[in-house]
Amino acid sequence: MSFQSLNLIDPLLRTLAELGYDTPTPVQKQAIPAVLAGRDLMAAAQTGTGKTAGFALPILQALTMAGVVGPLGVRCLVLVPTRELAEQVYDSFRRYGANLPLRCFVAYGGVPIEPQINKLRKGLDVLVATPGRLLDLHRQGALTFDQLQTLVLDEADRMLDLGFAPELDAVFAAVPARRQTLLFSATFSDTIRALACKLLNDPLSVQASPANAAAKTVRQLVYTTDKKAKPELLMHLARQQGWGQVLVFAKTKKGVDQLVKQLQMEGFSAEAIHGDRPQPARLQALHRFKTQQVQMLVATDVAARGLDIHALPLVVNLDMPTVAEDYVHRIGRTGRAGAAGLAISLVAADEVELLRAIEKLTGQVLPRQEEPGFEADHRVPLTGTPAPATPKARPARPANATNPARPASANQKAAAARKPRPAAVPQGAIVVAGGRGAKSLARAAGKGPAAKARAKR
């Protein structure tokens, strides 16, 4: 099947040819005709499979065929959860609509609002926005929704998360009830599907790939280790395996900043992206990473969606995500558009339930391995089988029970008397109990493999 067979107009076909798009992807084959027919749609497909073009191309065609927009009006509104994704989607609309007489713009927080207000005065055919900034513009009278024809929720599972509920309720109350509504995402939970159906009118459901599945082109691997050893293991693997461009995900903003500092101290070029960084700094870090001026980009889940980095070879989860669906989005930054990719997760013992949830969601047990010198002191339980049931505690026997505990025999008393008493421990001394922990002590003393490798440099 070709794009011509999808009944797209000539200006769009010329643009697609210039961009080198020859054959529509499965989600595009199903979504484009449905959107052109005016249907409400809920579409799920793996990351990197062309979901944005699946709704942008038919929307641009419909807007071109339906006239012009008036002052302060918006004919198509695309809501996204992050600023990075807003830029990504806006860029797609701008490129696909290069040969069309349409006005597109993007609006999000973290930057001055006045230029956005000025841009809206003449009206827009397409506005890509984050919910908070959209509502600020609407309350200031910078735009109206009277001319709205199509509402798109991109990464809809995150948009419908409870964290966005108040903003979305306000948006839904402001937009016309008579509209076309499109929901696109890589993952849809059953709860999200039920909620989405309340927002859509007789929706068509498109499942272009297995639900909540990662792309088959992404090889997934787990390294088990201890939490404190993760940064050192990351740097060890980067040197040993000669990593090039790497996107690293950490759980917290503080963790991102700490890791970037460690990487830079060890000679790696690294930048950070998280919600506390100014938007210009985030965009600059992303640009430097895309242009390979920086080897490692360390980010929170704010970067799990919307980052389209050409031929990114590797994603590393320094921390496992607390929401299993976010794992699919994280590793979806690599292996895009049919290219091969690798996703490595560093997993500690206290993350085993997060790993188990990810494996349940994706329907696969991730292969494991250990790196010599970084084996986990606190072993990570296997996840391929259900976790063993915790044995029930034996109830305490009452003091007046009819079958009291048997008193110690004379031989037992004599053996106890012969057992040597432990020597007193001087105050401030360090005691190592049990037979484990030698490897961790060696690392702390500067005698572990990673320390030896640094000594050789």
Separation of alpha carbons 24 and 193, rounded Å = 26
* Lowest model confidence (mean pLDDT) among 78-87, 115-124, 162-171, 283-292: 162-171
- Token pair of 341 as six digits: 């990719």
More confident site: 67 or 163: 67
Supply the pLDDT for residue 368.
95
Rounded distance between C-alpha atoms, residue 264 and residue 60, angstroms: 44
Q: Per the domain annotation, does 412 fall within a domain?
A: no
Of residues 199 and 348, more confidently modeled: 348
pLDDT for res 84:
85
- Whether residue 454 is contained in a domain is answered as no
Rg (CA), the chain: 28
**Distant-in-sequence contacts of 255-264, Cβ < 8 A, 24+ apart:** 255/318, 255/319, 256/298, 256/299, 256/300, 259/231, 259/234, 259/298, 259/318, 260/298, 262/231, 262/235, 263/231, 263/235, 263/296, 263/298
**pLDDT for res 402:** 40
Q: For residue 106, list its beta bridge partners.
A: 128
Report pLDDT for 455: 44
pLDDT of the residue at 252: 93
- In DSSP notation, 351-417 reads GHHHHHHHHHHHTSPPPEE--TT---SS-----SSPPPPPPPPPPPPPTT-SSPPPPPPHHHHHHHH
Mean pLDDT in residue range 257-272: 96
Q: Which residues pair with 183 in a beta bridge?
A: 42, 153
Calculate what percentage of the chain has a pLDDT beyond 70: 79
Give one word for 306, left, alpha or beta, with left for phi > 0 and alpha for psi -120 to 50.
left
**Cβ 263 vs Cβ 235: under 8 Å:** yes
| Pair 16, 27: CB distance under 8 Å | no
If pLDDT is split at 50, 70 and 90, which confidence band does 38 have?
Answer: very high
Residue 156 pLDDT: 75
Dihedral over Cα of 409, 413, 419, 424: its sign: positive
Best-predicted range by mean pLDDT among 219-223, 431-435, 453-457? 219-223
What is the pLDDT averaged over residues 58-69? 92
Helix (H) or strand (E) holding 171: helix 165-174
pLDDT at 48 over 80: no
- Residue % of the chain over a pLDDT of 90: 54
Do 67 and 106 touch, CB atoms closer than 8 A? no
Q: Tell me what the mean pLDDT of segment 271-295 comes to.
A: 89
Residues 179 and 241 in one domain: no
Query: Is there a single domain that holds both residue 240 and residue 203?
Result: no
Average pLDDT of span 373-395: 67
Instruction: Indicate whether 251 and 122 sit together in one domain.
Output: no
User: Which residues have CB under 8 Å from 122's CB, separation 6+?
Assistant: 71, 103
Domain closes at, from 369, 400, 422: 369
Predicted local distance difference test score (pLDDT) of residue 211: 58
Q: Does residue 432 carry a pLDDT above 70? A: no
Note whether 200 and 348 are same-domain residues: no
At a CB cut-off of 8 Å and minimum separation 6, what does 446 contact?
none
Q: Do 12 and 139 sit in the same domain of this protein?
A: yes
Q: Is 130 a domain residue?
A: yes
| Whole-number pLDDT of residue 45 | 75
In this prediction the pTM is 0.66
Please state, in angstroms and rounded to a whole number, the distance separating the CA atoms of residues 30 and 354: 34
Residue type, position 128, single letter: V
Question: Distance between CA 424 and CA 212 in Å, rounded?
Answer: 58
Determine the structural domain holding residue 116 and report its residue range.
4-207
152 and 245: one domain?
no
DSSP 8-state assignment for residue 194: H
On whether residue 105 sits in a domain, the answer given is yes
CA separation, residue 120 to residues 60, 152, 452 (Å):
18, 19, 60
pLDDT at 416: 45
Q: Is there a contact between 249 and 315 (Cβ–Cβ < 8 Å)?
A: yes
Q: Are 163 and 289 members of one domain?
A: no
Indicate the number of domains in the chain.
2
The answer, yes or no, to whether residue 362 has pLDDT greater than 80, is yes
Q: Is the pLDDT of residue 426 over 70?
A: no
Across residues 297-312, what is the average pLDDT? 80
* Same-domain status, 145 and 69: yes
Stronger pLDDT, 191 or 166, i.e. the higher one: 166
Q: Give the list of residues 6+ apart from residue 316 with CB closer than 8 angstroms, or none.
A: 234, 246, 247, 248, 249, 343, 344, 345, 346
**CATH code at 344?**
3.40.50.300
- The confidence score (pLDDT) of residue 212 equals 58
In the block, residue with structure tokens 């990719």:
341
Q: If you average pLDDT over every residue of the chain, what do you get? A: 82
Q: Are residues 60 and 198 in the same domain?
A: yes
Question: Within a domain: residue 411?
Answer: no
Q: Which two tokens stand for residue 410?
A: 């004379």
pLDDT tens-digit profile of 217-249?
899 999 999 999 999 999 999 999 999 999 999
- Take residue 420 and report the two structure tokens written for it: 């040597």
Domain end, chosen from 352, 369, 386, is at: 369
Tell me: do 261 and 173 sit in the same domain. no
Tokens (6 digits) for 209? 């790939």
| Separation in Å, CA 123 to CA 111, 119, 144 | 20, 8, 9
Q: What is the C-alpha separation between 355 and 332, in angstroms, rounded? A: 17
* 84 and 203 in a common domain: yes
**Is the pLDDT score of 408 beyond 90?**
no
451 pLDDT above the threshold of 90: no
Is the pLDDT at 57 greater than 60, yes or no? Answer: yes
DSSP 8-state assignment for residue 202: S
Whether 206 contacts 25, CB under 8 Å? no
| Same domain, yes or no: 252 and 176 | no
- Cα–Cα distance, 269 to 289 (Å, whole number): 10
Please check whether residue 312 lies inside any domain of the structure. Answer: yes
Residue 423, domain member (yes or no): no
For the chain, the straight-line distance linking the first and the last C-alpha, in angstroms and rounded, comes to 56
154, 183, 207: which is the final residue of a domain? 207
